[in-house]
Amino acid sequence: RKIGYAIVGLGSYATRQIMPNFAGCDQAKLVALVSGTPAKLAHYGDQYGIPATRRYSYADFDRIRDNPDIDAVYVVLPNSLHAEYVIRAAQAGKHVLCEKPMAVSVAECEAMIAACRKAGKKLMIGYRSRFEPYNRLAIDLTRGGHVGPTRLITAEHGFPAQPNQWRLDKPLSGGGSLMDIGIYSLNAARYLTGEEPVEVSAVESTDRADPRFRTVEDRITFMLRFPSGIIANCISSYSSGHNGYRVIGTQGWINMEPATPYSGQTMTIRKNNVTAPRTLPAPAKNQFAGQLDHLAECIMTGATPIVPGEEGLADLRVIEAIYRSAAEGRSVRLRA
Ligand code: NAD
């Protein structure tokens, strides 16, 4: 049997990246749609063969409780709506996959985890890079000391923000480039090291006269110090497209550029003074199908997802510290 997913929010990411990739899944299938726009429900419902009985509006979302075909709900809404829909999904007795950033505050993340725990349902965050082969290899090589013990990490993520969208409206996004794209630098620093930072220091620069940046930040850089002594230097921006990270060890480095796009990752390794590309065969399953199948498998076996709610919470803890550091002009300590 395949696990049935309801997609909540029929925006760009849901319709262009997630929904088409159910075709590559072994254990997950698309069974229901939730949207506030009847025309989208009709269009995508017809395209994916979802009958009218499994098309929901936000107002009748809670009726998913009565539909046993829906095992899991995938929340792909603007960030500040994640908490409400994750909690309502759990209360309707459904497992949940929630997009990054998990929510707009630590408090919301904690409430989401508590709601899913109380309902006895899985909660997973859409950190798709953990299902992408080059990132998985980078984790193994880094933690395995392939270029010697890690000393430093640099990570950068950005894209040029288009005007007039919820991402630039703080009440909906919770913040600027850091919430949306810089979180990939932060998450990579955490998954590459397998450690939680103990100190954060951040600097922000935003042209508030630019109409895009009235309520959210453009550029923010942050430095993380980890318990082992590793320092990660991270860049986040809405300025232009850039995407990569580099792990620097005592014997060389591992470079990923781009590191976390939808496809096209490239890895180069320098070890003992020799620089060479590292290529992997094309995977049988892409990162999108991989993450959908992973939650399905966890539901069937009772296992905990490799990117549970606690992973989203850990990022939000650091994000709050980054914003505090930038605002107060001092480094912020975090509990190990
Ligand atoms: P989008 O603007 O394309 O889609 C958002 C959808 O939410 C739209 O269909 C919109 O109609 C709907 N919506 C419902 N209530 C709304 C409200 N009050 N205001 C505005 N829109 C409302 O955005 P997106 O790019 O699809 O992003 C959705 C989520 O997915 C975000 O959390 C984002 O961070 C995440 N995302 C993740 C990835 C990834 O690679 N993991 C990529 C893109 C987006």
For residue 191, what pLDDT is reported?
98
| Strands 72-75, 55-56: pairing kind | unpaired
Cis peptide before 101 (omega within 30 of 0): yes
Does pTM surpass 0.90?
Answer: yes
Separation of CA 297 from chain center: 19
ipTM of the complex: 0.99
Q: How far is 80 from 250, CA to CA, in rounded Å?
A: 42
205 CB-near residues (< 8 Å, 6+ apart)? 218, 219, 220
Question: Of these residues, 100, 127, 238, 323, which one is catalytic?
Answer: 100
Residue 78 C-alpha to ligand 1 middle, in angstroms? 4
The residue contributing the CA closest to ligand 1 atom 43 is 13
Compute the average pLDDT of residues 296-303: 98
Written as one string, the DSSP assignment of 20-84 is GGGGG-SSEEEEEEE-S-HHHHHHHHHHHT--GGGEE-STTGGGGGG-TT--EEEE-S-GGGHHH
The reply to whether 40 belongs to the active site is no
Residue tagged 């075709």 (tokens)? 23
The reply to whether 100 belongs to the active site is yes
Q: Which atom of ligand 1 is nearest to the CA of 40?
A: 9
Compute the average pLDDT of residues 297-325: 98
Residue 48 has pLDDT above 90, yes or no: yes
Ligand 1 binding pocket mutation candidate from 8, 12, 132 (most atoms within 8 A of CB): 12
Compute the average pLDDT of residues 233-247: 98
Compute the average pLDDT of residues 145-168: 98
For residue 336, what pLDDT is reported?
72
Q: Where do the domains of the chain lie, and which CATH numbers do they carry?
A: 3-128+287-308 (3.40.50.720), 129-281+316-333 (3.30.360.10)
**Beta partners for 97?**
74, 124
Q: Is 106 helix (H, G, I), strand (E, B) or coil?
A: helix
Q: Which atom of ligand 1 is nearest to the CA of 13?
A: 26
Identify the band that residue 157 occupies on the pLDDT scale cut at 50, 70 and 90.
very high
Share of the chain above pLDDT 70, in %: 100
117 CB-near residues (< 8 Å, 6+ apart)? none
Residue 207 C-alpha to ligand 1 middle, in angstroms? 25
Provide residues with CB under 6 Å of ligand 1: 9-14, 36, 76-79, 81, 99-100, 126, 128, 166, 172, 180
